[in-house]
Amino acid sequence: MRFTINGQAVEASVDLRTSLLDLLRDHLHLYGTKKGCNQGACGACTVLVDGNRINSCLALAVQYQDRAVTTVEGLAGEHGLHPLQQAFIEHDGFQCGYCTPGQLCSAIGMAAEAERGVPSAVTADLSAGPVVLDHDELRERMSGNLCRCGAYNGIVEAITQTLVTGAAE
Amino acid sequence: MSIVDTVKQAVTGAVTGAMVRLTPDAPVDPLATKHGALGRSVPRVDGPLKVGGQARFAAEVPVEGLTYAALVYSTIAHGRIVTLDTAEAVAAPGVVLVMTHENAPRMAPPAIFMSNPRAAGASDLPIMQDPSIHWNGEPVALVLADTQEQADHAASLVRVSYEAAQADLSFDQARAQAHAPDSVLGEPARIAIGDAEAALAAAPYRVDLSYRTPRHSHGAIEPHAATVLWEGDKLVVHDATQMLHATQWTLAGIFGIREEDIRILSPFVGGGFGGKGLWSHQILAIAAAKLSKRPVRIALSREGVFRVAGGRTTTGQRVALGANADGTLAALIHTGVAAMTAHNNCPEQFTFPARHLYAAGSFLLEQKVADIHMLANTFMRAPGESVGTFALETALDELAEAMALDPIELRRRIEPDKDPTSGRAFSSRHLLEAYAKGAERFGWSQRPAPRSRREGEWLVGMGVATATYPYYRMPGGSARIRLTAEGAVVQMGSHEMGMGTATAQAQHAADRLGLPLERVRFEYGDTDLPPGTIAGGSSQTVSIAAALLAAHEVLVAQLLKLAGNDSPLGGLKAAEVEARDGGLHHKEDTGRGESYASILARAGRAEVVAQAEAPRPMEVMKHSMHSYGAQFCEVRVSAVTGEVRVSRFLGSFDCGRILNPQTARSQFRGGIIMGLGLALMEETEFDERTGRIMNPSLAEYHVPVHLDVPEIDVIWTDIPDPHSPLGAHGIGEIGITGVGAAVANAIHNATGRRVRELPITLDKLL
Ligand code: FES
Ligand code: FES
């Protein structure tokens, strides 16, 4: 099977039952993407596929051939960390760091969804176009990413500073 | 020797009470008040690794020829295995081994926690040694295969039949036979001062209330995992643990091998909260690796975590308070029962807060345990104090209401001048100051009368409660300092589960050695380093600090000797010098000193290495040492659905000197957020008919998510404790204490409703 992970073409032959998450971790040794529950409940395994966030534990690897998969290892650019990664450090948006890769990928996908006007459970006007990520919108949309260390305040600050238009200092 | 004696001895050795009193206090640590790297918000040293996905956790160590483990769990709570059919599993593709009690290697039972200072066993039950079953979910088989998919599939093919025996599963029934534990963490299970029942009966104001708290799960996002390799007779375990050296010692006993032949590594742990100890999965993986002669990875499924790694137990508590007309307490009664098993030693010390918090004319503090056939319960963030403060602090709120007193004013009237049950002096206690600061910042004076503030469908209210957690410092840790001309490395087998250990101790080392932060490093997470103590009881920061302080004294003596008489330091004693500006200097004569680089160069040495063990924690024998806080909460409760939203929260803490404000704030917030879970949603549901945990997943065991958590404000007194290293107290656990009560009291203020059973779900408010 052929995959494109973080811009690199990779080949792997795996059991058809293998999830995208296990492909990344056990077969490609890209351990940045985390397994917290393996059943879609925690968000630790979030990756970006063609820019959209998915729970890679609920995805079969075989379905993601020829799609562009981005993991936490692919977020940094030539000049170092992605601004969101840097902001997580500055705002202490983690403690143990286990949920962090999922929070990062999820936030990037989430900001794109809001930009496209995808509504959430707390969106009042469903036809208003791009959604302004106020405190409630942002937290609602990130609620699929659990952080048992409770770094939520720092995570929200980091996302707001980096990805919310008009909020940058 | 009883557990009590063992623990006391661990703390004091042969030192008697009289000797303790006569021993002078250690001098105040000069770093307690000095501002350098300490006291600054230094970003985490492991930040770039963690945000880059480069931090390697226990299940992420690449190993050639690795096999993957899956477990099969018993489906009865008590009884025995009658038949085990593994033929189909053995024949399944990729299967390397199916291990059951029939072919598992012989292993001694784990030494149970507190039976020895280095014992780590969560229970002393033998592991997969015989057909007997002690809890629903006990592993009955382990399957090893070349991939996780193959192991999981083969595990589903193992067929087991059982013969069930009578099981004690109902907490209410078991409570009738509750008995006193040997001790409660080395303290007596019962303390009675005066005749509290009589004083209660005679008091002009009284409340006498019952509380229930459920089982809880740590819910670390990283499931328990280990990667295990035998290299000849040597065992290497990449573990997710908060007790490295204790695990090493305990495994040596289980497998009958030498401690030196075991190495445990745990550089990153994806959350612990008390749950990342030694459970059966590591032991089974080691046994399977031995049998199969292959390296093994065991990464528990989320369900597996609930089946084999225990959590907080359930309690039933009574708090009865008798007050005099002036608001002082005539009687303070806090009693109750926690569910436990016959094989473990974790009685959930919910009466501990009442032993130290408030003055009263009489006390009855007593806890018992009820034996249940369940997975061994264990320590979870502020075991006892978290659920004990829920009962005590809501009862105080009810008393204040009965007396028409402001709850903060009531606490002023019962503030003790010394420890109310031990009689010892407090080392550092500024609870009322924390209350005053918090009240002002939170706007406590705006608290409405019960059920009087409504905004649309939302009823709004405020509540407050005391937070408290003991100061512990564990004996037995050693630190090593390696000093070169470039800088220093401090080494100790300690733990980093996200508390900021490596960052705070690097800050400490920088100030202790007088070096810039970028020239020091703290190495931890490996039993090949000098022994650390467990990361538990909020003790690690000061336990490491005391060892580092001791090693530094050795280092200074060595450096003065190396410097010799040709140095500007010549003739000076250790007490006359201090470390600063990259060298040693005369304390008063600022011009007199020599840099480390120069001392080393003149002596022709590349490095100096100094190692020392921390002195015994005499400070806890001499003083009553605790941390304090005041938790302020504002809630909005829907009058239509009963839904509770926490709209504001402030924690105002008194925890000694704060070493790194940024990481400390995160620790406090993390504790408070877990407290919001305890208050409103968390419950491990135990089926009392079968003993099965019914919600073994993060979809059904609810923890607070982003939208549940408001911005949490945290402030602190920052007053150093003169009797602790660095003037500091541990802060990992106090955050969760008092939160349940602050939320419950706010809900009462909003709705007029008292809920005395956690979690406060909406059905209890309708
Ligand atoms: S591991 Fe995929 S959602 Fe938890
Ligand atoms: S940082 Fe530990 S779970 Fe989020």
Kindly state the percentage of chain B with pLDDT values over 90: 95
Asked if B442 and B665 count as a contact pair (C-beta separation under 8 A), the reply is no
Instruction: Give backbone dihedrals phi and psi of B6, rounded to 5 degrees, phi first.
Output: -60, -45
The pLDDT tens digits for B144-193 are 999 999 999 999 999 999 999 999 999 999 999 999 999 999 999 999 99
pLDDT value for B761: 98
pLDDT value for B478: 98
Instruction: Give backbone dihedrals phi and psi of B396, rounded to 5 degrees, phi first.
Output: -65, -35
Asked if B221 lies within 8 A of A29 by C-beta distance, the reply is: no
pLDDT value for A166: 63
Answer whether residue B17 shows pLDDT above 90.
no
Answer whether residue B10 shows pLDDT above 60.
no
Mean pLDDT of A66-83: 94
Residues at CB less than 6 angstroms from ligand 1: A 35-38, 40-45, 55, 57
Of B274, B250, B736, nearest in space to B497 by CA: B274
Instruction: Give backbone dihedrals phi and psi of B181, rounded to 5 degrees, phi first.
Output: -75, 165
Q: Whose CA is nearest to atom 3 of ligand 1?
A: A40
Kindly state the percentage of chain A with pLDDT values over 90: 89
Our mutation pick for probing the ligand 2 site, out of B44, B49, B51, B221, counting the most ligand atoms within 8 A of Cβ, is B221
pLDDT value for B572: 95
Could you tell me how many residues make up chain A?
169
Asked if B223 lies within 8 A of A36 by C-beta distance, the reply is: yes
Asked if A97 lies within 8 A of B51 by C-beta distance, the reply is: yes
Answer whether residue B7 shows pLDDT above 60.
no
Asked if A97 lies within 8 A of B269 by C-beta distance, the reply is: no
pLDDT value for B2: 37
Answer whether residue B23 shows pLDDT above 90.
no
Instruction: Give backbone dihedrals phi and psi of B218, rounded to 5 degrees, phi first.
Output: -60, -40
**pLDDT grade for A2, boundaries at 50, 70 and 90:** very high
Question: Cis (ω within 30 of 0) for the bond into B759?
Answer: yes
Query: One-letter amino acid identity for B753?
Result: R
A12-25 burial, b at 16+ Cβ within 10 Å, e below that, comes to eebbeebbbbbbbb
In ligand 2, which atom is closest to the CA atom of A93?
1
Centroid of ligand 2 to alpha carbon of B644 (angstroms): 25
pLDDT value for B14: 45
- Report the residue from A33, A98, A104 with minimal CB separation from B221: A98
Mean pLDDT of B293-315: 98
Answer whether residue B385 shows pLDDT above 90.
yes
Query: One-letter amino acid identity for B257?
Result: I
Least confident window among B5-9, B335-339, B477-481, B760-764: B5-9
Asked if A17 lies within 8 A of B149 by C-beta distance, the reply is: yes
pLDDT value for A127: 83
Q: What is the pTM of this model?
A: 0.97
Mean pLDDT of B83-88: 98
The pLDDT tens digits for B697-719 are 999 999 999 999 999 999 999 99
Mean pLDDT of B433-445: 98
Do domains A2-73 and A83-164 share one topology? The answer is: no
Q: How far is residue B219 from each of residues B51, B494, B548, B686, B738, measured CA to CA in Å? A: 21, 22, 32, 16, 20
The pLDDT tens digits for B726-737 are 999 999 999 999
DSSP label at B669? H
Tell me the C-alpha distance between B61 and A26, whole Å. 10
- Taking the domains of chain A in order of start, what are their residue ranges? 2-73, 83-164
Answer whether residue B507 shows pLDDT above 80.
yes
The verdict on whether B588 is a catalytic residue reads no
Tell me the chain A residues in contact with residue B711 when contact means C-beta distances shorter than 8 Å: 153, 156
Q: How far is residue B704 from each of residues A100, B673, B677, measured CA to CA in Å? A: 16, 7, 6
Strand ranges for B308-357 from DSSP E? 315-323, 329-340
A153 close to B (CB below 8 A): yes
Asked if A22 lies within 8 A of B149 by C-beta distance, the reply is: yes
The distance of B163 to chain A (nearest Cα, Å) reads 32
pLDDT value for B422: 96
Tokens encoding B4: 């009590």
Domains within chain B, CATH numbers bracketed: 3-34+474-616 (3.30.365.10), 58-166+220-308 (3.30.365.10), 190-216+312-373+389-472+621-764 (3.30.365.10)
The pLDDT tens digits for B512-562 are 999 999 999 999 999 999 999 999 999 999 999 999 999 999 999 999 999
Asked if B51 lies within 8 A of A72 by C-beta distance, the reply is: yes
Tell me the C-alpha distance between B569 and B573, whole Å. 9
Our mutation pick for probing the ligand 2 site, out of A37, A91, A99, A106, counting the most ligand atoms within 8 A of Cβ, is A99
Centroid of ligand 1 to alpha carbon of A72 (angstroms): 15
- Report the residue from B51, B222, B500 with minimal CB separation from A88: B51
Using the Cα atoms of residue B624, residue B179, residue B537 and residue B3 in order, give the sign of their dihedral: positive
Mean pLDDT of A40-56: 98
pLDDT value for A133: 95
A57 close to B (CB below 8 A): no
Nearest ligand to residue A44 Cα = 1
ipTM: 0.97
Centroid of ligand 1 to alpha carbon of B189 (angstroms): 42
Q: How far is residue B107 from each of residues A6, B101, B104, B202, B598, measured CA to CA in Å? A: 46, 11, 8, 58, 55
Q: Of these residues, B523, B634, B682, B733, which one is catalytic?
A: B733
DSSP label at B132? E
Answer whether residue B371 shows pLDDT above 90.
yes
Task: Name the average pLDDT for chain B.
Answer: 96
pLDDT value for B4: 37
Kindly state the percentage of chain B with pLDDT values over 70: 97
Please tell me the CATH code under which domain A83-164 is placed. 1.10.150.120
Q: How far is residue B374 from each of residues B280, B604, B684, measured CA to CA in Å? A: 14, 62, 12
Residues 6+ apart with CB under 8 A from A49: A59, A64, A67, A68, A69, A70
Asked if B208 and B200 count as a contact pair (C-beta separation under 8 A), the reply is yes
Number of neighbours of residue B764 by Cβ within 10 angstroms = 15
pLDDT value for B709: 98
Tokens encoding B61: 């160590």
Q: Which one of A88, A95, A137 would you mutate to disrupt binding with B, by most B Cβ within 10 Å of its Cβ?
A: A95
Q: How many helices (H) and strands (E) does chain A have?
A: 5, 5
In ligand 1, which atom is closest to the CA atom of A58?
2
**pLDDT grade for B610, boundaries at 50, 70 and 90:** very high
Tell me the C-alpha distance between B560 and B558, whole Å. 6
Tokens encoding B713: 């404000």
DSSP label at B268? -
Task: Find out if CATH 1.10.10.60 is the number for domain A2-73.
Answer: no
Centroid of ligand 2 to alpha carbon of B527 (angstroms): 25
Asked if B560 and B574 count as a contact pair (C-beta separation under 8 A), the reply is yes
Tell me the chain B residues in contact with residue A110 when contact means C-beta distances shorter than 8 Å: none
